[in-house]
Amino acid sequence: MKITSIDTYDVRFPTSRELDGSDAMNPDPDYSVAYVVLRTGAEFTRGGKPQIHKANEFEGHGFTFTIGRGNEVCRAAIDALAPMVIGQPVDDLGEFARRLTHDSQIRWLGPEKGVMHLAAAALINAAWDLVAKVEGKPVWRLLADLDPDQLVDLVDWRYLSDALTPGEALDLLSAARPGRDERIARLERDGYPAYTTSPGWLGYSDDKLVRLAKAAVADGYSQIKLKVGGDRDDDVRRMRLARGAVGDDIRIAVDANQRWDVGPAIDWVTALAPYRPWWIEEPTSPDDILGHAAIRRGLATAGPGGSRIRVATGEHVQNRIVFKQLLQADAIDVVQIDACRVAGVNENLAILLLAAKFGKPVCPHAGGVGLCELVQHLSMFDYVAVSGSLDDRVIEYVDHLHEHFVDPVVMTGGSYRTPAAPGFSAQLRPEVFARYAYPDGTAWA
């Protein structure tokens, strides 16, 4: 099966009008996607047998997430990569991904970072959506059904061998095979645990914070998250209010969205310590490995009774190499993958394997537009086929914009239900484009 054409779109939602998504670094985001549709010809193989389908019967949908201005740059980057995809097969998704990230001239624009990497993520994720639809499986199950050697072949191993070799990854994946069917059954019965950021946006009033925090507990969540980093006194007050609203048994994570230098990060989080923050997320620049390590050392005994306050990061980490260094430096306690920041499913598979090698839990970044829809597949695959564990693992959930997707996430009792529809849950509803396409959609006119 070959890709015959590509359509791209700039889609933006005016979330800044209600301050949904507001934080200390990003006070007025308009959640957006640079969106791509891969269209195919009429021939493909399934189970090794040639098949015929009507043109465009199967489409691959993918996107990368931005917060408004610059979304048109990501769309242009996807268009720039299109010639490397049109006319090419999607039978080997490892080769498909490497074709986009290894091109000698495009690579000069990164390498493997920035806008071109976001564009590659959109195309790679769209290819996974396409193949999963052809195979009649959700992406999490498509991945989980692959043999360990097939999974290893999907990874770009360049620059990783000092931390994890293909042989070690094969051993890790093989060791996770026992109990696989039982873990699938548990997922399908109970879902995957989540936490919610919905109460915690920095632009929300105290009353709204308390109301939404109480609602989250009533909905079954055992963890919430607050944005911090605007004003220390305000953050202490908001943490006190949140702790009073949810009680002592609910975890409260905090997220600074890269707001601080190293010293202020340690001091600020220590001021919040009486209210027992579960982790501090993105305390400083995502590129500062040594800074994260220093913050983690500084918070090792900062919690009540000398307990550790954990350090989490990942949503803005550029690629697998930076994740490798964060893990080698013992700079983080929690790995936060993002479905669209690195080069899609393939590079996230490498990061999941690195996290398993170093024994760190993966708690993905989600929210935005469609990030919940995508990343649920990666965490469920991780549980079934990589880590085999749910200990201290949760997927972020934010309750907005899901209604715009054909196959939106389903939450029950604070958990993600397993997606059953074939694909990557990435497809926007057709009417979205007339309303939210930028700049001519009715929401922007």
Please state, as a whole number, how many other Cβ atoms lie within 10 Å of the Cβ of residue 265. 25
Examine the residue annotation and report whether 102 is marked as an active-site residue of this protein.
no
Phi-psi sector, 367: left (phi>0), alpha (psi -120 to 50), beta: left
User: Which one from 61, 137, 292, 365 is the annotated catalytic residue?
Assistant: 365
Examine the residue annotation and report whether 365 is marked as an active-site residue of this protein.
yes
Largest separation between any pair of C-alpha atoms in the chain: 66
CA 409/CA 418 separation, integer angstroms: 9
User: Which one from 227, 292, 324, 377 is the annotated catalytic residue?
Assistant: 227
Q: What amino acid positions are annotated as catalytic residues?
A: 227, 365
